[in-house]
Amino acid sequence: MTVTLRSLETAIPPTVLVQDEVRDTFAAQPGLTRLGERLVRTCFNSAAIDTRRTALAELSLNDTSEHPKFYDARSGLLLSPSTKVRNDIFAVEATKLFIEAAAKALDACAGITAADVTHVITVSCTGFFNPGPDYKVVRALGLNASVQRYHLGFMGCYAAFPAMRAAKSFCDADPHAVVLVVSAELCSLHVRTSNDPDAIMGSSLFADGAAAAIITAREDLPASGPAIRLDHFETVLTPVGEEAMAWNIGDEGFEMVLGTYVPHIIDDHIVGALEPLLAHDPTVNGRPYSDIEHWAIHPGGRSILDKVETKLELSEEQLHPARETLRTVGNMSSATVLFVLKRILDLPFNGGNERICSMAFGPGLTVETGLFTRVGGPVQPGSAEQADRAAPLGVPAAV
């Protein structure tokens, strides 16, 4: 039985963060030391990001709300709301993105209607509420009240993989299952001014967005363009790095730990992390990594992508979907690798089956990997890749 990702759609909030403008705002905060200011400029300048999106209209830097919570445009000061204030906004704004992405994925899947969905899996690590996003999606899309609902919370940047793996398991067990997977993250809720290098790094990288997929093994559906066959997943914990990447709850938002040693850990252990995944399939095991057509790498940051490209001897073209995702919309935690897969899905199709090796990293240090196959017909007009080529530098593609 073949389990296939039949549709994959994304959603981003309307407010655009221009990297240089946000950099100058963070660098101008009165509490920064001289070292802190230098770190802000270095992190923002080296992030390989032009634009990001945020659900916080205040962070447009020209919003003149009477009672600002995050940024006071009149004084130029970044504010420090409590975790409760941030989470209350998450409950409202994340719900919008969950529903928008889910509705788009359902609409894009030929032969599938709301009545066909049997399982809903939602993913997020940037906020909590209950009844949760799984409930909100079921109600908003008019899904059956008997739909099985699951929420994967607070896992971090790799969480789309456990979600897809669970969806595959449901479909392997039931050939009629139709699983809706939705990831939405509001990382910008937790940015803050600080002299702490980890907080500065997070402020330079993180953004908001959502992605949703329809996954099923049903064989009675019409062909509707390219799709992704979910072949195999693996999980690896590196022997070091437990303290190098973490996500903690503080009084003024969630606090990221992203040590500068993380790219070196990935450099040392990425080959070993790929071994159990590729050993599963003799058609790719033992071949050069560059022979695998597509690489959907979670762009945790520019230096991580640099390490992956160099260590695995990949081409610039193979890392292009990941780098373009980072450049145009930043790091949206668990949703980001789905944005990368969307770009690969929308590439021109040359016929035959094209392999995809996908990977994301998160707290632990956890390495999640997936081996997929791209199958199907030609790309439709208006794809993310076509938008990248048409858009001037600094203007986000319509992903």
Residues labelled as active-site residues: 157
**Cα–Cα–Cα angle for 204, 207, 213, nearest 5°?**
145
Helix 197-205 × helix 34-45 angle, to 10°: 30
Q: Among 137, 150, 151, 163, which Cα is nearest to 11's?
A: 137
Tokens standing for residue 350: 């040359």
Tell me how far apart the alpha carbons of residues 164 and 235 are, in angstroms, rounded to a whole number: 13
**Cα–Cα–Cα angle for 129, 132, 137, nearest 5°?**
140
Contacts of 381 (CB under 8 A, 6+ apart): none
**Residue 10 pairs with which residues in a beta bridge?**
211
Tokens standing for residue 316: 């610039």
> Which residue has 């992405």 as its token pair?
101
